Amino acid sequence: MVARILYPELKTPAVLVDMDRLEANIREMSDLCKSAGVKLRAHVKVHMCADIVKMQMAAGAYAVELGTVYGAEALAEAGINDILITHPTSYTGDKTETLKRLLKKRGQKTTIVLDMVEQAQTVSQIGQELGKKVQVALKVDVNAVINGFSRFGVLPEATLKVAKEFVKLPGIDFKGLYAHEMPLNTTKEGLEKAALDCCTLMVDTAKLLKKEGIPVEHLSVGGSPTIRPISRFMREGKFREITEVHPGNFIIGDISYMKEGGNTREMCAGSVLVTVTSTAHPEKAIIDAGFKTFGGDYMVGAAKEPDYWWNGWPTFGEAQGRLDLRCGFLSAEVGSIYYMDPYRKLEVGERIEIVPNNITLVIAMHDQIYGVRRGKVERTFAVTGHGRGI
């Protein structure tokens, strides 16, 4: 018989966030930026929750950013009035209409990040149609230079050429440059080198643009894995040209970001509450959560690590307080938890918390997050805009 049921008032699976850890992480992020004398624009895709955004802003974040125009509209509707949209895209079709609504919203400040002249030409047309200038930043792919994971962004050597085209366009107010470094070397030394190389490249590029008469009011760097060394550099008086930083997953954390250097295991605030539904097999227990809860991120980038495989299975997370359990196989609605210690088994009806590999995926599939503190449910956070493709 199960001695104690965790959070018996909740149905499982349920997404939890530990309020003590969440608040501590928010404070640390804000304190790092305050001590460095740089503005904090919190990247909020990880939780997409307006109430958590307001906690971050109350602690010192002056604005927010996220990836898509749909997410920006959802947060704007919830009262967040300074938003930067980070993913360069072609604003056509429904994206055009969504962007127009944001730009027409009274009191709303919206900045968009682009990386192609063709994208900027479309935004220029939108601005002219509305009779206003759209604030635009140019994304630079620093990862192509710093040994990072490249996604968006103009190659650094082409930044000046593209910026010159941007500033020619009517309907656009060119604000500056944006970079999101994603280093592949996640050792402490690797993160410090990536941070240093990224800041150096971006500051030098900004100086180059200014020399050509192109204003750079906005100069943004700093993801979760690199925010600590960047803030230290700025405390030492370096890179004062950087105007803001944008860490995100830092405040909630997961196993993937832990491996990338963005958070420690102890400060992971998010987890999934699950219930054991079957112990019919001696080597494992079945839980009531699968791909529909955890997503399918098995962190294949870590496949060469010595502890990645166990009895032929990778892992989808870590059980809180139970290092003897291996979170192995997932199907659509259930998962398998394997016993690494055959003498410590789970019981039917028992509940455990699992810190997932990818908390962003988990939250994106749920309507709400339960804020818990020392074993009690304290509040419920609605996931803002859930169901709108964000």
Same domain, 311 and 336: yes
Q: Is residue 304 part of a domain?
A: yes
Residue carrying structure tokens 């941070």? 195
Same domain, 75 and 186: yes
Peptide bond into 8 cis (omega under 30): no
Domain edge (last residue) among 251, 283, 309: 251
Same domain, 129 and 278: no
Same domain, 79 and 209: yes
Domains identified in the chain, total number:
2
Q: Which residues contact 327 (CB under 8 A, 6 or more apart)?
A: 315, 316, 317, 318, 319, 335, 337, 354
Q: Is residue 356 part of a domain?
A: yes
Domain edge (last residue) among 208, 226, 251: 251
Same domain, 283 and 200: no
Same domain, 243 and 134: yes
Same domain, 57 and 144: yes
Residue range of the domain that includes 268: 263-382
Q: Is residue 267 part of a domain?
A: yes
Q: How many residues in the chain?
A: 390
Q: Residue 282: which CATH number? A: 2.40.37.20
Same domain, 157 and 286: no
Q: Is residue 258 part of a domain?
A: no
Domain edge (last residue) among 224, 251, 278: 251
Q: Residue 194: which CATH number? A: 3.20.20.10
Same domain, 177 and 269: no
Same domain, 183 and 67: yes
Whole-number Å distance between alpha carbons of 51 and 123: 31
Tokens (6 digits) for 280: 């019919």
Q: Is residue 204 part of a domain?
A: yes
Digit-by-digit pLDDT tens for the chain (390 residues) are: 665 799 999 999 999 999 999 999 999 999 999 999 999 999 999 999 999 999 999 999 999 999 999 999 999 999 999 999 999 999 999 999 999 999 999 999 999 999 999 999 999 999 999 999 999 999 999 999 998 999 999 999 999 999 999 999 999 999 999 999 999 999 999 999 999 999 999 999 999 999 999 999 999 999 899 999 999 999 999 999 999 999 999 899 999 988 888 888 899 999 999 999 999 999 999 999 999 999 988 887 777 888 878 787 889 999 999 999 999 989 999 999 999 999 999 999 999 999 999 999 999 999 999 999 999 999 999 999 776 666
Q: Is residue 113 part of a domain?
A: yes
Same domain, 321 and 357: yes
Whole-number Å distance between alpha carbons of 368 and 272: 12
Position 383, amino acid:
V
Whole-number Å distance between alpha carbons of 134 and 273: 43
